[in-house]
Amino acid sequence: MIEYGLFLIFWYGLMHAFAPDHMTAIVNFSIGKQKAKVMMITLGFALGHGVSLYLFSLLLSDLEIPEQVLAYGDVLASLVLILMGMYLLYLVAANQIHIRKHEHHGIEHAHIWFGHEHHHQNANRKWLSGSAMMGVLMGIGGVRGMLVTLSAVSNDQVSGLMILSFTLGVTLVFAVFGLTIAVFNQKFLQSKKPLRRAVFGAGLISCLVGGQAFL
């Protein structure tokens, strides 16, 4: 029963990761980024989402929160996507998307950044913590589905192995998707015009996906 439960949780993590809001959030963070940074973003998102989703589910199941209250978690996650989309659209409209090319050991390298200034200091830490926090916020929106899954295994008792199984499933999908984005960035977003189009498209899709919760 334990092995079946862990497999069920792992499989649920795989399926859960394919939700449009998760993919949209990863794209919003990863568009135009280099491979190493994209993979760090996806890892942070997966860990933040997986662990927080379980912790929220455990807390809410113990407190027996009404269904009407849990529904606000979906609204919060959708609002986050809309705000992210609006920010990306603002970057395009305000011409705050920058690209500069230079060479390292004879190999041309495109340096992309957003906003008024570009900072190297603590950049990796910022993106890792930011994507992890986004994973936490999106986890709030998935609490209701997790509660249903928890009822099918171990009498709603959450163990460390269950958390690990779910997080591994989520991480596997996010890592493959992040790698795909990284390849796309490297192949097609090495000049300003296609980069602006990609950011605009990501922002528009983010607003549309987030807006589905209010239809």
Express each pLDDT in 31-42 by its tens digit.
988 888 899 899
User: Which range of residues forms the domain containing residue 175?
Assistant: 2-214
CA angle centred on 73, ends 149 and 169, rounded to 5°: 40
> Alpha helix (H) ranges present in 94-191?
123-141, 143-150, 160-188
Alpha-carbon span 56 to 54, nearest angstrom:
5
Find the mean pLDDT for residues 177-182.
Answer: 95
How far apart, in whole angstroms, are the C-alpha atoms of residue 203 and residue 81?
Answer: 9
The confidence band for 209, taking pLDDT boundaries of 50, 70 and 90, is very high
Q: What is the CA radius of gyration of the chain?
A: 19
Query: Token pair for residue 167?
Result: 């997080």
Output the pLDDT for position 178. 94
As a whole number, mean pLDDT of residues 16-22 equals 89
Residue 104's pLDDT is what?
Answer: 62
Asked which of 107-116, 162-171, 197-206 is least confident by mean pLDDT, the reply is: 107-116
pLDDT higher than 80, residue 28: yes
- DSSP 8-state secondary structure symbol assigned to residue 100: E
Q: What is the pLDDT of residue 112?
A: 81
- Helix, coil or strand: residue 98: strand
Q: Is the pLDDT of residue 195 over 90?
A: yes
Model confidence at 14: pLDDT above 60: yes
* pLDDT value of residue 11: 87
Residue among 65, 51, 210, 72 at smallest CA distance from 139 = 51
Query: What number is the average pLDDT over the span 4-17?
Result: 83
Question: What pLDDT does 117 receive?
Answer: 57
Give the mean model confidence (pLDDT) for residues 167-182.
93
Name the nearest CA neighbour of 16 among 192, 166, 175, 215: 166
Q: Which two tokens stand for residue 162?
A: 């269950």
pLDDT of residue 153: 57
Q: Strand, helix or coil at 108?
A: strand
CB atoms within 10 A of CB 70: 17
In contact, 85 and 205? CB cutoff 8 Å:
yes
- Kindly tell me the burial class for residue 140, based on how many C-beta atoms sit within 10 Å of its own C-beta (0-12, 13-18, 19 or more): buried
Q: What is the pLDDT of residue 111?
A: 74
Q: How many domains does the chain have?
A: 1
pLDDT 10s digits, 53-109: 777 767 766 666 666 666 677 788 899 899 999 999 999 999 999 888 766 666 666
Q: Tokens 């963070």 label which residue? A: 29
> Residue range 131-140: average pLDDT?
80
User: Does pLDDT of 120 surpass 70?
Assistant: no
Residues recorded for the chain: 215
